[in-house]
Amino acid sequence: MRRLISKTTLALCLLPLAMYGQTEVSQEAVALSLEDAMKYAVKHNVSAKNARLDVKKQRAINAEVTGIALPNIKAEGQYTDFLNPQKSFIPGDFVGMPGIFIPVQFTPKYGVTASGSASQILFDGSVMVALQARNGLMKLYEQSATLSEENIRYEVQKSYYAFIISKKQYQAIANNMQNLRRVAFEMKTMYETGMIEKIEVDRINVQLNNLISDSLRLGALIDVTEQMLKYNMGMDIAQQIVLTDTVVDSKIADAASMVLSTEADYDDRTEYNLMNTQLKLNQYNLKRHRLSGLPTLAAFASVGYNYSTNEFNEVFSFYNNYQFYSLWGLKLSVPLFDGMQRINRVKQAKITVKQTENNMEGLKRAIDLQTASSKTNLKNALLSLDNQQQNMKLAENVLDIANKKYKAGVGSNLEIVEAQSDLVLSQTNYFNAMMNVINAKSDLQKATGQFKK
């Protein structure tokens, strides 16, 4: 067993060195502060990129809506070849043949028409409201993009510190392994000289083997948290990174001050502003349906040339007598009865406005609840962290005393094993409590809208 543990330990120690050498050859690591990671994520995360594309798309849609109110101008050209021109019948009396009707062709075989037309809406209630709602729609998509970026910053912060804390925990286990290997070596020497029994050496080796298993599990967790951070950032998984904001204590101190100073303000929440914009758009929609019952007025004009002939070679001879025509006019459309459709659309729009108002009230209560619960969770997480920190220091002292007693010959090997197990457990609880504080702090920041630029 000692040989197996020795080989496993050696492989575990050499693995980071081999990975480091491979990293240096493959690519250079990128140093990232938390702010750097957030900026990178906002720029490269797929959700953020799509949200910005939605903003551009809405800008194009707004330009399309604007085009409805602009003049509509078009040109047309038409060439006609009557394979069998239609004939009309005239009384034979006209040509001295009473009692019969004679077919006569009035339409020439070939015809050409070139024309241009223009139209302009002078008044249309629905178009007027659509133009008024353009800025609101643009604001809606911009706020949606902002909300997407806030969520990305929130996820990046959590995964950033999850990576850092898991590495700190790994370092603590590595230190425990180093100390325990030293104790195991000393006990092995004492066993070989006949001073202790073999069971005492085996106890230490079992404890060391457990630490190796914990380190392998935690090493896999570090890989997962690193990959999650890169995923949230929109970064290539193969890219090597080095995190620079590794001082977690300052973040915990900030979290303690947030419990007392942070208050909810609805206007700081992008979700609330987004819903408020949606309410205004729903009100525009209600106005649009109401104004759709008004008359609409449009102006139109058209100019063109036409010509007809029975000879094909004369069709495109512009010296021939092409006939010019022009016209203009106004078109007034007055809705009289549409089967009560407009009235029912107005009712539906009113209900939608009321539902949005209710949703805004519900969102206010949700924001209050999120803020209050986040404060409570953060306060409890801070108390738990303080308790676990004290417990970890006690476990360190107990292990130190157990080692000294054993060296002095007044303590047992079992005391060292139990003290080491208690220390590992207290360290695990401490780092879990630290992660809970960071997550609770992130939740409170999100609840109070602190993940804006």
Same domain, 187 and 59: yes
Same domain, 177 and 287: yes
Same domain, 426 and 280: yes
pLDDT value at residue 360: 96
Same domain, 27 and 158: yes
pLDDT value at residue 27: 65
Same domain, 98 and 224: no
Average pLDDT, rounded, for the chain: 87
pLDDT value at residue 439: 95
Look at residue 453 and tell me if it is in a domain.
Answer: no
Letter for the amino acid at 248?
Answer: V
- Does residue 31 surpass a pLDDT of 50? yes
Q: Are β-strands 241-243 and 30-32 bridged in parallel, bridged antiparallel, or unpaired? A: parallel
Same domain, 143 and 180: yes
pLDDT value at residue 307: 82
Same domain, 267 and 391: yes
- Residue-wise pLDDT for 143-179, tens only, equals 999 999 999 999 999 999 999 999 999 999 999 999 8
- Residue-wise pLDDT for 333-374, tens only, equals 999 988 899 999 999 999 999 999 999 999 999 999 999 999
Looking at 334, 358, 390, the residue that finishes a domain is 334
Look at residue 328 and tell me if it is in a domain.
Answer: yes
Same domain, 312 and 361: no
Least confident stretch, 5-9, 175-179, 252-256: 5-9
Same domain, 152 and 251: yes
Look at residue 251 and tell me if it is in a domain.
Answer: yes
Q: Domain range for residue 99? A: 73-122+297-334
pLDDT value at residue 13: 44
Look at residue 259 and tell me if it is in a domain.
Answer: yes
- Does residue 317 surpass a pLDDT of 90? no
Looking at 334, 362, 386, the residue that finishes a domain is 334
pLDDT category at 434 given cuts 50, 70, 90 is very high
pLDDT category at 318 given cuts 50, 70, 90 is low
Looking at 305, 334, 363, the residue that finishes a domain is 334
How far from each other are the two terminal CA atoms of the chain, in whole angstroms?
56
What value does the mean pLDDT take over residues 49-68? 92
Percent of the chain with pLDDT over 90: 60
Same domain, 203 and 116: no
Residue 117 in contact with residue 326, Cβ under 8 Å?
no
pLDDT value at residue 8: 43
- Residue-wise pLDDT for 72-108, tens only, equals 999 999 988 888 888 888 887 777 788 788 888 878 8
**How many independent structural domains does the chain possess?**
2
- Does residue 9 surpass a pLDDT of 50? no
What value does the mean pLDDT take over residues 270-288? 95
Residue 119 in contact with residue 300, Cβ under 8 Å?
yes
C-alpha to C-alpha distance for 154 and 136, rounded to whole angstroms? 27
pLDDT value at residue 19: 42
Q: Can you give the CATH number for the domain in which 214 is found?
A: 1.20.1600.10
Q: Can you give the CATH number for the domain in which 98 is found?
A: 2.20.200
- Residue-wise pLDDT for 122-150, tens only, equals 998 888 898 889 999 999 999 999 999 99
Q: At what angle do helices 134-192 and 125-132 cross, to 10 degrees?
A: 40
Look at residue 22 and tell me if it is in a domain.
Answer: yes
Look at residue 362 and tell me if it is in a domain.
Answer: yes
Look at residue 244 and tell me if it is in a domain.
Answer: yes
Same domain, 140 and 196: yes
Same domain, 424 and 358: yes
pLDDT value at residue 433: 96
Look at residue 452 and tell me if it is in a domain.
Answer: no
